[in-house]
Chain A
Amino acid sequence: MSATAAPLRNVERARPAASPARTLKLAEALAGYMLAGPAFLLLIVLFILPVFAVFVIAATDWQFGARSLDFVGLANFREIFGDEGFRISLMNTIVYVLIVVPGTVILGLAIALLIESGRSWRAFYRAVHFLPYMATLAAMAIAWEALLHPTIGLLNQTLAALGLPTANWLRDENTVLPVLAAIGIWQNLGFAMVLFLAGLKSIPQDLYDAADIDGADLWLDRLVNVTLPMLGPVTMFVVIVVALKAFESFDTVQILTQGGPGHASEVLLYTLYRESFEYLRTGYGASVTVVFLVIVVALTLIQARIMDRRVHYQ
């Protein structure tokens, strides 16, 4: 260091206080933090900390209400992956999701296209199909139970009257999961339909006109060349949201089947609930939660990554 460095350092030290731009920037940053602060605090308290707690509890053998606990490391996870019940539950969940997501998307899109193609009664059809989504699923599940009742249920009575084979829908391990999935589709249909309707409205008429002139003027050609590609972003959103909802389905299982018969309708969230709050094995339940979280987050990321590139056409 020589003599020339000293005055330079002085200049540098003087600048921050003197620069109005810097003061303004600081004030702006402060205001920003203050405005974001409350929401950030709530996020931490309500989301981040509980998730963190789950991760900690997952590494213990804590039982709900117990006064002591031991850290057991990854023992809970070893147990999970060795557990036949968990594997069945995971498979059931995957099958359920694989039925509900395509079913909801295809039916929701079909209904949206039908409503949009007609001129009359649009609001009525929209409302009717959206009702199940608005209704409390727990209450609706009871209505479904009545419909599906093996002897006095409307479904079996109708089938019998038509001379078709009947079944004990919720007590047969071959039918219980598809039936629950059908209820899941019925419930999410309205949500998908409303989003598709909004998506259809935002497709520029010019594109349909261009398709007409280019010769893609038949129903299927218009669908393939204009409607479906332009609904890409909406479809991606619907798929992600419905998949997440299907992954965390719980109400219908709890109310209609309690996971039965056997483990035929046991899904991840139900396993989690049963381990944590019926068997009070909170530590084990927490590790199921961790697995559940990892699957859900990974799924969302993969979907968003892969689909984002394909639907936004940049």
Chain B
Amino acid sequence: MSGVSFQNVQKSFGPVSVLRDVSLDIADGEFLTLLGPSGCGKSTLLRILAGLEAQDSGSVSIGGRGVDGVRPKRRDIAMVFQSYALYPHMTVAQNMALPLRMRRLSPWQRLPVFGRLLPGTKRAGGEIAAEVERTAKALGIGHLLERKPGQLSGGQRQRVAVGRAMVRHPAVFLMDEPLSNLDAKLRVQMRTEIKELHKRLGVTFIYVTHDQAEAMTLSDRVAVMLDGELLQVAPPQEIYADPSERRVAEFIGSPKINMLDGVVRERGLIDVAGSTLAVDIDRDQGAEVTLGIRPEAFHVADRSGPGALTGAVRFVEHMGSDLFVHLDMPGVAEPVIARLLAERAPQISAGQTLHLGVRPNRALAFTREGARIRPRVQWTPAAGATVTHLREYVQ
């Protein structure tokens, strides 16, 4: 068992509060992603787990064992850094062997020349070399063992960093933005490899990223962080389709979710953008709400009227299979973006008036303060979009 648990962790750097009362339980073998914009505290949380940083209050445990005050190397974790943090003066083999050498050889045995003469050094060294080679082969970098990091490409360095983490079979893998230094194509490829690695090793992965596509595609659960707070922890599809609050809804999804201010006309009906939509929420007449509608929740309607929004087309972006239509709507400050299937909406041009229907249950209601107002009939994943559908959208 090597689940991870944070209990009421707080941390500030001087006057800046970086983590405010974060509690999070991560199951054994789970792939959990900490997702948030830069400066939200996700890396700090990871570094506290690694033991590189100490929390001001609260406690951390790995595998049910409290690790507060335990040195990083005794925590049974391994970490892949954004910069890879490979030792530039060592070959790939030496880089990968270091964690094993540090654990299995005594300080005397690690001495440059003298160490080799001590009993047991040669045998242990041979075992280490064999394990390094096995790991390197598994990662497809067996032929690079004698090179120095400076001679490797970004993708190769990334694999070496993963190899150095893997070689001693840690219980928990920590990854701090491991793909952000790679180019777009390689990033997608390495993403798949990391997913496969997780499947193969079956240990707990905690992955930090600001890239929602990575978070959505890799994770069992995503933890969305903002300003040192944990906003929502849920599977990717739930984060996307059933956000717990406005900030989560706005952070996830590209193009961004449309936010339209409206007023409850009567129970179940909301006046918004010069029209009326049916949204099944438990709010009385006159209550001010904000509706969040994802761009792909729109479809082209034949005419205006209840259930459809009307706007003037500003411009159209052609994305191949989809169109991003930017519209001005009465009483809405920012342009509304609708994502329409190209084949269903062939003739749309700037200046035209367009009627858009909203798919049932796809308008998310929030209070003006940003809290979510759940529908009276609870959302279920089956009622919303499918997972593959969602993943396609966040990319």
Contact = CB atoms under 8 A, between A and B. Distances in A.
Interface of A: 204, 206-207, 209-210, 212-217, 220-221, 225-226, 229-230, 232, 312-314
19 contacts: A206-B82, A206-B85, A209-B81, A210-B86, A212-B52, A212-B72, A213-B51, A213-B79, A214-B73, A214-B98, A215-B98, A216-B102, A217-B71, A217-B73, A221-B102, A225-B98, A229-B88, A229-B89, A313-B148
Name A's interface SS: helix
B78 interface: yes
Contacts of B51: 212-213
Nearest to B78: A213
Nearest to A311: B89
Interface in B60-91: 71-73, 77-79, 81-83, 85-90
Contact of A209 (B85, B89, B150, B151): B85
Given A207-B85, A229-B90, 11 more contacts: A206-B82, A206-B85, A209-B50, A210-B81, A214-B73, A214-B99, A215-B99, A215-B102, A215-B103, A220-B107, A314-B151
Contacts of A221: 102, 107
Nearest to B89: A229
Given A314-B148, A314-B151, A206 B103 contact: no
A250 to B, nearest CB: 37
Interface in B179-219: none
A313 B147 CA distance: 10
A221 B102 CA distance: 9
B85 A313 contact: no
In order of increasing CB-CB distance, the 10 nearest A-B pairs are A215-B102, A229-B89, A215-B73, A206-B85, A210-B85, A214-B99, A313-B88, A212-B72, A314-B150, A213-B72
A204 B83 contact: yes
B150 A206 contact: no
Interface string B93-105: 0000011001100
B164 interface: yes
Given A214-B73, A214-B164, A217-B73, A206 B88 contact: no
Nearest to A209: B52
B336 to A, nearest CB: 43
Nearest to B161: A210
B81 to A, nearest CB: 5
Contacts of B83: 204, 206
Contacts of A313: 88-89, 148-150
Contacts of B78: 213
A232 B51 CA distance: 29
Nearest to A314: B150
